[in-house]
Every structure is written in structure tokens, then in C-alpha cells.
Structure 1
């Protein structure tokens, strides 16, 4: 199972989310994930892709990349990476570290569980 995790600025447009996901180069997703505070930004995009949206906590989840600002605010280095990991099964790993949309308002990362070939 592959999950795309997202972080974004409040009010980020769907185009920014779409661009961030495109930049991951990943297909065959099972779900999208983000923090509860960004549900409004991700709901329409998840509906567009016909994928479930998983809302998850991210505090304390170790991530390959690290933003000092996000660490201070949310207790993790990357909301996108932590949300993707949290929404997958235990033992999941990041296969695409966070990428940023061209406008800078959204990030996406991809995690997969250990069962995915």
C-alpha cells in the first residue's frame, strides 16, 4: 500500500496539491493523508482522485527531512512525510521524501508498507 502524505499552508489551492503530488512521480496510491488541521484543503483533492483521506497525528514521528519551523509547531520534521508514515501500516518507509509545489504552498511525500513490492 502506498500513501501520499501532504502538508500545506492554510487555504492552499488544489492546484498546489496536484502539483506537489505530480512532482513525487508516484502512482497507484491507496490513500491520501494529512493532519486534521488541513482536512479542508485536502478533502476536494481526495474526492477528485477517488481516494480516502486519512487524518492523522504526526507528533513524535521521525522523518527523513526536517523543517525547524514544522518541528517547533507540530513535533515532527515534515508533516507530509509523517502523515504518510502514520497512515501506512507499522514498518512503513518513505520512498519519496517531501517535494514542494512550484508555488511553495504544498508538500507531498510517499510512504509504502513493507508488503508493497
Structure 2
């Protein structure tokens, strides 16, 4: 079975793609991975139309996959970060972590818990 490394993302509206891509590269570097190890960028479906996410996927040369709410909710118990502010806004404890875990599959685990830049968050998960 092929290992899936997923970058889960959250961002504020109109976050620049370059900022998101730089954050993903930082997370990969901190996890000891190369950009070529990445299967894709994963974000919640409610972020559809967010130009910065699309731009980051182009910059990194990977697909952007929008995850349905059900997949995000199923992955949520495996997340390690919980923000009450994020819960109030999205219904999820951590958008980036749950997106990464959902993207990497039902038996995935976090490689890198959520990190943040000024306008985005990123977490990495790997399939088991």
C-alpha cells in the first residue's frame, strides 16, 4: 500500500497562496519530509472558491482536495489541537488537523500538529 502524506489546511479569507505554500514547506521540513512526499493539500469543503488554496496547490504541484464535513467530523477525535474559537466558527476543534487526518485516511496519524502563519494553519498526517 502506498503511504499518503496529507497536508491539512485552514486559512482566513483571501490568504495569499504564497503564504500557504510557505507554511506547508515549513511543516514538511519540520517533519523531515520533502515536497515530493506530499500527496496533496486537503481543506474543508466550506473553503471552496478560496483562491489562496488553489494557488498554493499550483505552487506546490499537488492537487487540492476539498473534504466533506462528514469526513472531517470522523477524523476529529484523532486531532490533538482544540481551539474553542475555531469550534465556534467551524464546528471543528482544528480545521488543519482534521483535514490532514481525513485526507490521509481512516487509520492515519498526525506527523506534525497544527502550525500557524499570520493567516493560515497547516498540519501533516500520514496513512497507516
Q: Same fold (TM over 0.5)?
A: yes
Instruction: Tell me, yes or no, if the aligned pair for 2:96 and 2:123 is still in contact at 8 Å.
Output: yes
Range moving further from structure 2, 43-52 or 5-14: 43-52
Q: How far apart are 1:105 and its partner, in Å?
A: 0.3
Instruction: Tell me, yes or no, if the aligned pair for 1:99 and 1:107 is still in contact at 8 Å.
Output: yes
Identify which of 11, 26, 29 aligns with 1:8.
11
CA RMSD of aligned residues (A): 1.5
* Aligned mates of 1:53, 1:67 — CA distance in 2: 24
1:60-90: CA deviations, max 9, x gaps? 6121011111112222211000001111121
* Aligned mates of 1:46, 1:18 — CA distance in 2: 8
Q: How does 1:79-98 map to 2 (within 5 A)?
A: 79-98=95-114
1:50-69: CA deviations, max 9, x gaps? 21111112236121011111
Structure 2: gaps (5+ residues): none
Residue equivalent to 1:108: 122
Structure 1: gaps (5+ residues): none
Q: Secondary structure at the match of 2:38?
A: coil
Residue equivalent to 1:30: 39
Q: Secondary structure at the match of 1:59?
A: helix
Instruction: Tell me, yes or no, if the aligned pair for 2:18 and 2:56 is still in contact at 8 Å.
Output: no
